[in-house]
Amino acid sequence: MTFRIDSALRDARLLGAGLGAIGPWTTWLAVLRATFGHKLNRQERRAFDKVAGGREPPDQKVRELIAIVGRRGGKSRIAAALATYFACFIDHAPKLSPGEIGCVLVLAASRQQAGVVFNYVRGFLEASSILADQVETVTADEIRLKSGIVIAVHSNNFRTVRGRTILAAIFDEAAYWRDETTASPDVETYRAVLPALATTDGMLIIISSPYRRAGLLHAKHRDHFGQSDPDVLVVQGATTDFNPTIDPGVIERARTADPSAAVAEWDGQFRADIAQFIDDDLIDAAIDHGRPLELPPREGVPYRAFVDASAGRHDAFAIGIAHREGGRVIADVIRGRRPPFDPSATAAEFAALAKEYRCAAVTGDNYSGEWVAAAFKDAGCNYVRAEHPKSQLYLEGLPSFTRGAVAIPSQPQLLRELRLLERRVTRLGRDSVDHGSRGSDDFANVLFGCLWLCRPPKFVETAIAAPIQVAAGLRFDRLSGRYEPLPRWSS
């Protein structure tokens, strides 16, 4: 027999044993009842209308629930309650072949956050003697029930979700997912789980605080919030909408300290002060797919080198080498070493590389320690500090992308960093550019450093900006190893 979600949460012998007093969860109960197509009473309808953007409650179970909720709004506990509900209270036998293992999958923003949700799942199971009796084995991140269903709680990884029979997928704090190999792990994971959910008629649930206006969470909000879609329900609300027990003083102190951040963290709204710095279309247009990853040095070409040094513990140590050709800056080399590494040995390696391109000096971060200059000097290469901080280098280099005046290799780490750069508006109204939360920008830094080093004289820059000369009209010729003008056909 299948229990309704609200009945399981209200019953002190079942999920209610771990949830506690039901009063503070009124909005969540209304949303979950609507998610499964249950009719709402008058009080539940008022709670639903407050967070649903004016849409009608669904008449049947939806395929996707997207809950955009402020910080401390009970997101992780509800994610754990839903995972337990899908595993324990729904009969999945008709969907599974003999011997097939069904999985209720919860993916979190980090290993630490996954541990938090996993502990909540264990708490729901252990608090109820009825549910505790269903547990067969418990490992570090998975719980196998006697029914054969597995509750798996992991940090997000789109490469490891394929191949499982997924009965339900829950994405916790998806707006804050990061991955070293892609700029859009939320979208990649979404695409990976959809086929499995389609075969089991499983539900996808995304529960997250909002961040910038990009990514899967924002796309779902943009396309479905306030729309009476029978398959997708999007709700959005402040912390106080979903958790009325929160101390208002905590929110007000946070709002005073950082008003812009409070809009997302406590009000449940996407940040207007943070935007993607470079549009994906501009990045894609700058990629030269027909060239090797690194171009060899050529006689008679003046090159410039820029480095972003690291002590070898956290950030990468990166170098970029570029030259100007035919109105465009060509990024010949974008290379980096990820920690751990010997910083002195890496400096020597990059100094030798710069010399191959006839660069007697490298330019680097304005904030680098004295050891960087000393390391390059020991390797026979001068180190010059950049005149501007990296944020200004980004802002000055952006026109090279908008004019189509830059050619970059299809280097995965570089492309990831470029797509994740964020443009922020400070309290003084100034623009600043940096990587996002738990992100990196070492490869992007050296590219924009090269753009600055290869900037044209003022009169040339003015000429390039003229509309008639925006298109550089170059292609990489593999035989000559250089960029050549595209053929021009006369009528």
Contact 242, 52 (CB under 8 A): no
Which H or E element spans position 482?
strand 482-485
Which pLDDT score, from 0 to 100, does residue 490 have? 37
Closest CA to 424 of 287, 218, 267, 264: 264
Which H or E element spans position 127?
helix 111-127
Contact 309, 365 (CB under 8 A): yes
- Upper half-sphere CA count for residue 252 (Cβ side, 13 Å): 3
- Which positions ≥6 away from 10 have C-beta within 8 Å? 16, 22, 29
Which H or E element spans position 216?
helix 215-224
Contact 364, 306 (CB under 8 A): yes
CA atoms of 19 and 157, how far apart (whole Å) = 29
Which H or E element spans position 194?
helix 185-200
CA atoms of 100 and 111, how far apart (whole Å) = 27
Other beta carbons within 10 angstroms of residue 348's beta carbon come to 17
For residue 110, give the amino acid letter.
S
Contact 35, 151 (CB under 8 A): no
For residue 2, give the amino acid letter.
T
Which H or E element spans position 337?
strand 328-337
Contact 483, 344 (CB under 8 A): no
Query: Could you name the CATH architecture of 280-485?
Result: 2-Layer Sandwich (3.30)
Contact 278, 87 (CB under 8 A): no
Other beta carbons within 10 angstroms of residue 39's beta carbon come to 10
Which pLDDT score, from 0 to 100, does residue 423 have? 83
Place of tokens 């799942």: 121
For the chain, the structural domain boundaries read: 5-272, 280-485
Other beta carbons within 10 angstroms of residue 280's beta carbon come to 14
CA atoms of 130 and 252, how far apart (whole Å) = 42
What global pTM score does this model have? 0.70
432: helix, strand or coil: strand
Which pLDDT score, from 0 to 100, does residue 6 have? 93
CA atoms of 426 and 57, how far apart (whole Å) = 40
Contact 105, 193 (CB under 8 A): yes
Place of tokens 């899967």: 216
Q: DSSP character for 328?
A: E
Which pLDDT score, from 0 to 100, does residue 262 have? 87
Q: Each residue's pLDDT tens digit in the chain (491 positions)?
A: 468 999 999 999 999 999 999 999 999 999 999 999 999 999 999 999 999 999 999 999 999 999 999 999 999 999 999 999 999 999 898 888 888 899 999 999 888 999 999 999 999 999 999 999 999 999 999 999 999 999 999 988 777 777 789 999 999 999 888 776 777 888 989 999 999 898 999 999 999 999 888 889 999 999 999 999 999 999 999 999 999 999 999 999 888 887 878 888 899 998 877 778 898 899 999 999 989 999 999 999 999 999 999 887 778 999 999 999 988 999 999 999 988 899 999 999 999 999 999 999 999 976 666 889 999 999 999 999 988 888 899 999 999 999 999 999 999 999 989 988 888 776 656 778 888 766 789 999 999 999 999 987 653 333 333 332 333 455 555 444 555 555 444 33
User: ∠ at Cα 484 (482, 486), nearest 5°?
Assistant: 150
Which pLDDT score, from 0 to 100, does residue 488 have? 44
Sign of torsion over alpha carbons 50, 55, 61, 67? negative
Q: Hey, what's the torsion of the CAs at 198, 199, 205, 211, to 10 degrees?
A: -50
Q: DSSP character for 17?
A: H
CA atoms of 482 and 484, how far apart (whole Å) = 6
Which pLDDT score, from 0 to 100, does residue 311 have? 80
CA atoms of 206 and 200, how far apart (whole Å) = 18
R_g of the chain, CA atoms, integer Å: 27
- Sheet bearing 382-385, strands edge to edge: 382-385, 361-364, 304-308, 317-325, 328-337, 406-407
- Which positions ≥6 away from 373 have C-beta within 8 Å? 383, 385
Contact 125, 144 (CB under 8 A): no
Contact 177, 207 (CB under 8 A): no
Contact 391, 277 (CB under 8 A): no
Give me the CATH topology for the region 5-272: Rossmann fold (3.40.50)
pLDDT tens digit sequence for 363-378 = 997 666 688 999 999 9
Tokens representing 226?
């306030």
Tokens representing 327?
């109105």
